[in-house]
Amino acid sequence: MQKNYRRDTLSMASRLFAPIELRGTTLPNRIVVAPMTQFSADDGVAGDWHFVHLGQFALSGVGLILTESCYVAAAARNATSCLSIYSDAQERAIGRVAAFINKFGNGVFGVQLCHAGRKASAKTPSEGGGPRPVSKGGYQAVAPSAVPVSPDWPVPRELTINEIQELIETFSSAAKRVERSDASVIELHGAHGYLLHQFMSPLSNRRTDRYGGSLENRIRFPLEVFEAVRSVFPSEQPVGMRVSATDWAPGGWDIDSTVHLAKELDALGCDYIHVSSGGLATEQDITVGPGYQVEFAAEVKRHVDMAVIAVGQISEPHQAETILRTGQADMVALARAMLFNPRWPWSAAQELGDDTFYPQQYLRGHPSKWGNRGMSIAGNYSFESQPKK
């Protein structure tokens, strides 16, 4: 039983710190740590870096903590140092992180499942990026069509129908491992030019069978993956999907297609959609700025009942609060801002005049305990025991 420090009130002053229920799982607030690839796994196994990197956010009271892209097979990996969950050792390592977050945090831990498709077998950013040839420790990439990332990348092998069916089972097997690891949420990575996104975009999918051509055919594989994962994951635990709302390129995937996909996911019982953009086409033309992707989340939210996560240079508490209060999204995801300040929820609560979770071990750091030497937060507080989820 962990002791929390919070206001003596049943309702929070801000929208950001109001709880939200996804299926049978309650998030204590609307703050999400977005997936951030670390390129720090040893043969896919989460090590001390991941333990500290993800664990620190639990101590900050984040509502939902998502792993970086976690790959479902060895040949699915973007790079050899990417986090994965296709072996027992990898499953145990994710379980170690989950155990810490479940014990010491008050939020929820989720795993993002991914297949890199034609982006597989890449060098890490520290190595300069680009493809890693098979002759230098790389592996054969597969994709919906034999269309490379760019002229500088090798041509991927087009998947057969049988292989597509096998990949659906691969995602299902990974989902079972997530359940055994005691993580509470699964997010499918359908964004940023990875395999699910490759099937959806007409720029990367040139197939002429039931998995290509029309919009309905191009979204068939992502929907089948979702159904397979949903069917094996506990019914009370959420499954969501991250999507790119647009390829930012002529003739590519766009917001209208995203809305269509979102409606289909909603009908299948998807619990949330995490709306990002880009990552598939080298010719993408993106105008970047604070909240530059929020409009896409807002458009999706107008058409679905499931929860919507907005992301994209959201860094200021009042900015996040405004997104939620104006109904543009139900949750906000942060990445760089959370790296810069892992205690962002504490700072946000201070700025919004609200309060949030502090681990018992850190209660002395609460501003109300600083006396006349530091900051204070308006409101009456008390220690009380709260049952863990």
Low-confidence winner among 56-60, 61-65, 104-108, 381-385 (lowest mean pLDDT):
381-385
Confidence of residue 372 (pLDDT cuts 50, 70, 90): low
Residue position matching structure tokens 């609307």: 30
66 within 8 A of 276, measured Cβ to Cβ: no
- The average pLDDT across 363-384 equals 61
- State yes or no: pLDDT of 64 exceeds 90: yes
Provide mean pLDDT across the span 1-11. 36
Judged by average pLDDT, the poorest of 118-122, 275-279, 358-362, 376-380 is 376-380
Per-residue pLDDT of 14-48, as tens digits, reads 999 999 999 999 999 999 999 999 999 999 999 99
Contact status, residue 95 vs residue 181, Cβ threshold 8 Å: yes
The first and second tokens of residue 5, run together, are 């420090």
Q: What is the per-residue pLDDT for 369?
A: 86
Residue 373's pLDDT is what?
55
CA distance 23 to 6: 25
Select from 362, 358, 361 the least CA-distant residue to 386.
Answer: 358
Q: What residue numbers bound the domain in which 16 lies?
A: 2-386
Tell me how many domains the chain contains. 1
pLDDT, tens only, 309-349: 999 999 999 999 999 999 999 999 999 999 999 999 999 99
Query: Is residue 52 predicted with pLDDT exceeding 50?
Result: yes
Strands 307-310 and 272-276, bridge-based pairing:
parallel
Q: Left (φ > 0), alpha (ψ -120 to 50) or beta: where does 387 sit?
A: beta
Query: Which one is catalytic: 194, 211, 272, 358?
Result: 194
Give residue-wise pLDDT tens across range 226-278: 999 999 999 999 999 999 999 999 999 999 999 999 999 999 999 999 999 99
DSSP string, 299-310: HHHTT-SSEEEE
Helix (H) or strand (E) run with residue 239 in it? strand 239-244
The dihedral through the CA atoms of 86, 89, 94, 98 has a sign that is: positive
Asked whether residue 11 carries a pLDDT value surpassing 50, the answer given is: no
Inter-residue contact 245 to 283 (CB < 8 Å): no
What pLDDT score does 98 carry? 98
- For the residues 143-163, what does the mean pLDDT come to? 97
* Strand 381-386 with 2-7, pairing: antiparallel
Range of weakest confidence among 288-297, 316-325, 360-369: 360-369
Mean pLDDT, all residues of the chain: 92
Q: Is the pLDDT of residue 8 over 70?
A: no
Task: State how far the Cα of 199 lies from the Cα of 191, in Å rounded to an integer.
Answer: 11
Residue 129 confidence class, pLDDT cut points 50, 70, 90: very high
Residue 189 to residue 113: CA distance in whole angstroms: 6
Catalytic residue flag (residue 139)? no
Confidence (pTM):
0.92
Residue 302 contacts by C-beta under 8 Å, 6 or more apart in sequence?
none
Residue 357 neighbours by CB under 8 Å, 6+ apart:
4, 5, 6, 28, 61, 105, 106, 107, 345
Reply yes or no on whether the pLDDT at 377 is more than 60.
Answer: no
Give the pair of three-digit tokens for residue 45. 């196994």
Distance between CA atoms of residues 140 and 120, nearest Å: 8
**CATH, residue 50:** 3.20.20.70
